[in-house]
Amino acid sequence: MNISKIANLKYFYKHTKNVSKILSFITFSLFIVGIFWGLYIAPKDYLQGDSYRIIYVHVPAAWLSLQVYIVMAVTGFIALVWKIKIMEIISIQSASIGAYFTLIALVTGMIWGKPTWGTYWVWDARLTSELILLFLYIGIIVIYSSFTDKRQGAKIAALLAIVGLINIPIIHYSVEWWNTLHQGPTVTKFEKPSAHITMLMPLLYMLLVFNLYFVTVLIKRVRLGIFQREKNTKWMENYLND
Amino acid sequence: MKITKTNKKRIIKILVFFFAITSFSSILIYALSQNMIYFYTPTQVYNSEAPIDSNIRVGGMVKVNSVKKINNSLKVNFTVHDLEQELNVTYTGILPDLFGEGQGVVMTGKLISKKIFLAEEVLAKHDENYMPPEVADMMKEKNKEMFNK
């Protein structure tokens, strides 16, 4: 059983080197197109003028901050139950990526908030719950890194990730459950999205690019995680010497 | 991924742990939801749900043709409404760029009475609609046509 698990990591490590390189190139090119589309081609907003264009970074980052959390919790759950090493690594490596997305969403939101609302920060339900998400991510990373035994650390971190899952619907529905300064959803609702098609298309495109970026960075980070854990094994030595 | 007996045990353990914490936090949030209200609406003010003479937030839409600027000062008077009730607001200071008639606002301040709100800070609440200026103009025209009929 043990052998097949290590073989799994080995297989992943050996076969993703080129994949990650190609993906990086594709993501970067698509990102340039998306930025050009959102910042230059898409029309101005009738009310906000050009300042609304920050949604092309803000919305995908905020979206991914939730999505990555779900990935982290689900892989963490699988790692807890079936003790699959690669799931542990995926789960814990997602945490750092998710934390970055959360930070980007918060910072771009603040930059947008000043000219639009008239303030950088308010303690409404949406902003507060998103800040809690950042603390959850940081907590998970800190707990994991405080263990010398990484398998034990991954276990506790996964448990925290699963418990923190309750925050995800709270963030998503906060703008509907409570009166918040933050506006309601533009894209994710049953009715027609409340953005004009010429503005919606680049937004959905950027969402796709951010997803691709997540996959790309995840593969790179998982490779790093595998290396850190397996650097003293024979197969890694052999592989690096080849 | 087979589900063996040990796996089953682990799944149950995790689920119990998750639901324990989830139900605990849901009860907590439910209990606090009265305090989670970021702002009161004019209807809530009208129904005396908001405390008078203490610091609160009120949000609503600025009524069209209600904004009156007082000459040689930063003082503004306007009315906010939520389609049901109205509330008169007095504010001295600089308004955010997106402030305008028909737009949403969230204000911090004190209620002097059920009808008058003294604002200390006015923030513009943006809605979730985004459109190019040409489309906005077209929609305005259409609304006018419908209104005239």
Mind listing the pLDDT tens digit for each residue in A167-203? 999 999 888 888 788 888 877 666 677 788 888 999 9
Torsion over CA: A119, B62, A179, A191 (sign): negative
Residue B41 near chain A (CB below 8 Å): yes
For B16, name the nearest residue in chain A, comparing CA atoms only. Answer: A163
Same domain, B32 and B46: no
Contact B123 A117 (CB under 8 A): yes
Across B1-149, where does the E strand assignment appear? 55-62, 68-69, 75-81, 86-92, 104-111, 116-125
* Cα separation, A196 vs B136, whole angstroms: 10
pLDDT for the residue numbered A1? 45
Work out how many domains chain B is built from and give that number: 2
Same domain, B91 and B64: yes
Which amino acid appears at position A105 of this protein? Answer: A
Whether B30 is in a domain gets the answer yes
Torsion over CA: B14, B15, B18, B19 (sign): negative
Tell me which chain B residues have a C-beta less than 8 angstroms from the C-beta of A185.
128
What CATH number did the domain enclosing B53 receive?
A: 2.40.50.140
Contact B126 A45 (CB under 8 A): no
User: Tokens 């914490």 map to which residue?
Assistant: B21
Whether B59 is in a domain gets the answer yes
Q: What percent of chain A has pLDDT over 70?
A: 95
pLDDT for the residue numbered A164? 92
Whether B132 is in a domain gets the answer no
Is the model more confident about B70 or about A3? Answer: B70
Residue B109 has pLDDT above 50, yes or no: yes
CATH number (1.20.120, 3.30.1370, 1.10.1740, 1.25.40) of A17-228 reads 1.20.120
Is the model more confident about A114 or about A93? Answer: A93
Tell me which chain A residues have a C-beta less than 8 angstroms from the C-beta of B95.
118
Tell me which chain A residues have a C-beta less than 8 angstroms from the C-beta of B40.
179
Read off the tokens for B78.
């306007």
Contact A194 B128 (CB under 8 A): yes
End-to-end CA distance of chain B: 66
Mean pLDDT over A104-109 rounds to 96
Tell me which chain A residues have a C-beta less than 8 angstroms from the C-beta of B122.
118
**pLDDT digit string (tens) for B16-64?**
988 888 888 888 877 777 666 678 889 988 888 888 888 888 988 999 8
User: Tokens 């690594």 map to which residue?
Assistant: A89
Helices (H) and strands (E) in chain A, counts: 9, 0
Domain coverage including residue B107: 42-125
